[in-house]
Amino acid sequence: MPDRKPPSRTARAPTRRRPPKPVDAGTLRRIFERFREAEPEPQGELEHVDPYTLLVAVVLSAQATDRSVNIATAKLYGVASDPAAMVALGEEAVAEYIRTIGLYRIKAKNVVALSRRLLDEHGGVVPPSRAYLESLPGVGGKTASVVLNMAFGEPTIAVDTHVFRLSHRIPLLIAPTPDAVQRGLEERIPREFLPHAHHWLILHGRYVCKARRPDCPRCLIADLCRYPDKTLPAPPADGAAAA
């Protein structure tokens, strides 16, 4: 058996590049001014008509795309668009309507259970209370934040994977958990931008600052972002004539 050469004592592990520091307050303001100028009234992509249908849609959207949820709820809301109708429909029937969505059985159970509680405890009305919303089956902090922001206009930020990624990539704020990012962003972002901040960030993360390959060449805040590994424009096609 050949002798193995012992590892060199002088060899060093590769050093990890330190992430950039979060942008300063002035730069953060310019970032959101640009988002506002480009899209003054951003809209969420989950289809709904009132706080209840929004709540159900957000519960269904966990680990699912907005598009898949919209396809399912278009049929579901045709037969049950309020808590009483949803409870009357029952778990098995709800599950059949949403079976194309991941975790559809547990989601059907949660939707019927939260509908029953809304009927029993609030006359079928969704209350603007974070504590109550988070007590409902299938509802966590992110879902409550979306409902409070979109249905009741509260200046809160729902931190999904897109917002968490952008917060650390730009970076706006660096924190270890979504809850910590939410608290930090709500403190850092000027109040005038908070009503729409999470929609701007979600849509930017979904369509431009994507996880695997951010589309930096068409990013409206590329010059303000401190992300060190920005992508470059695609090279011209072979044989393209010079202008």
pLDDT tens-digit series, residues 161-200 = 999 999 999 999 999 999 999 999 999 999 999 999 999 9
pLDDT confidence of residue 240: 52
Mean pLDDT calculated for residue range 48-77 = 95
CATH number at residue 171: 1.10.1670.10
**172 and 83 in a common domain:** no
Whether residue 7 has pLDDT greater than 90: no
Among 142, 210, 223, 238, the one annotated catalytic: 142
**Annotation says 160 is catalytic:** yes
CB < 8 Å & 24+ apart, contacts of 132-138: 133/55, 137/109, 137/110, 137/113, 138/59, 138/62, 138/106, 138/107, 138/110, 138/111, 138/113, 138/114
Q: What is the pTM of this model?
A: 0.84
CATH number at residue 107: 1.10.340.30
Q: Which amino acid is at 75?
A: K
Among 3, 160, 229, 238, the one annotated catalytic: 160
Q: Which of 152, 175, 193 is the last residue of a domain?
A: 152
pLDDT confidence of residue 234: 72
**172 and 144 in a common domain:** no
The number of folded domains in the chain is 2
Tens digits of residue pLDDT in 204-236: 999 999 999 999 999 999 999 999 999 988 776
Host domain of residue 139: 51-152
**Annotation says 215 is catalytic:** no
